[in-house]
Structure 1
C-alpha cells in the first residue's frame, strides 16, 4: 500500500477513496502475457497505485520493476478504465474507486525476479488460456487489448 493511501486511511477510515494507478500488459516474443499471482492467490497484471508527484507512466515503470525485476521500455498507452465496475470493497472493508491507465509493452530488459512481499508467482501465459482465478478487472483489461490488438500491432511496430 502506498504511503499516500496509508495516510488517507488514517483520516477517512474505510470510506471510499479515489485511487489512480497503472497496469501493464507485457508480451513475450510469442505474444504471451506476463501474469502475476498475488498473495491472495488471484492472478492479474503487474502494476499499482500512483504515488504523489508521479505520472501514470512512471507508476507503470516503477511498479513493474518492483514486482517483476523487469525494466519496461516503449510503453504504449492503451486506455483508461473507470466507472462503477471498478469500485471495490477490500477484505479489510476499505472502499476504493480505481481509475487505471493500461499500457502495452513488447520490449523489456532485466531478469525476472519475483517480489515475494507482493507475489506468489510470475508467468507468461497465452491470453486465451487465463487462469480461472484471474480477477475480473484484469480480464477486462486483457479483453480490451485483444479486441483492439490489430490497431496496437500496427502502432507498436
Structure 2
C-alpha cells in the first residue's frame, strides 16, 4: 500500500479507578489513553482487550461503547503516512489484573483526576483528547456518532 492514505479502525479506552480517576499511559514521551489499531482477524472488542493488555497489563472484563469518531480530517503519523481516524471509544466498566507501569509499549502508567490530566499532545490530538473527555462526561447511555 506504500504511502497511500488509509482508513484505520482503532480503539481508545477510558479506564477509571474506584475514585473516578482516569488511567493514562506514557509512550514515546507522551501521555495518552490506551489506544491502538485493529489487526487482521480481530473484532473491534478483541482489539480493545489486546491493546489494554499490551499497554497496561490489565484484562478488560466488560466495556461500553460510548462514541465512534469517523469524520475527522486526515492525520499524519511519524512515518508521514496519512490516515483518516475511525475510532471506537470505550469506557472499560470492569477490569482485572495488576497495573504495570512499564510494558513493551509504555514507559509509565498512572491514574489522574479528569481535571488534572496530563497534557497529551498539541494540535489535532490535544483537541481530540479534549473532545473524548467531553463526550465521556456527557455520555447518557446513547451512542455518540461523529
TM class by shorter chain equals: 0.7 to 0.9
Aligned counterparts of 1:103 and 1:24: Cα–Cα separation in 2: 5
User: Which residue does 1:43 correspond to in 2?
Assistant: 31
Structure 1 residue 120 displacement after superposition: 2.0
Compare the two structures and name the one with the higher strand fraction: 2
Gapped regions of structure 1 (runs ≥ 5): 1-11, 153-157
User: Which residue does 1:143 correspond to in 2?
Assistant: 134
User: Which residue does 1:110 correspond to in 2?
Assistant: 97
Structure 1 residue 116 displacement after superposition: 3.8
- The Cα RMSD (Å) is 1.6
In the superposition, the TM-score normalised over structure 1's length comes to: 0.79
Aligned pairs (5 A) from 1:118-157: 118-134=105-121, 135-136=125-126, 137-148=128-139, 151-152=140-141
Q: 2:46 aligns with which of 58, 74, 79?
A: 58
Could you tell me whether the CA contact under 8 Å between 1:66 and 1:115 is conserved in 2? no
Aligned counterparts of 2:46 and 2:102: Cα–Cα separation in 1: 19
- State how many pairs are aligned: 137
Answer with 1 or 2: which has the greater Rg. Answer: 1
Compare the two structures and name the one with the higher helix fraction: 1
Question: 2:6 aligned with 1:17, yes or no?
Answer: yes
In the superposition, the TM-score normalised over structure 2's length comes to: 0.85
Could you tell me whether the CA contact under 8 Å between 1:47 and 1:59 is conserved in 2? no
Gapped regions of structure 2 (runs ≥ 5): 142-146
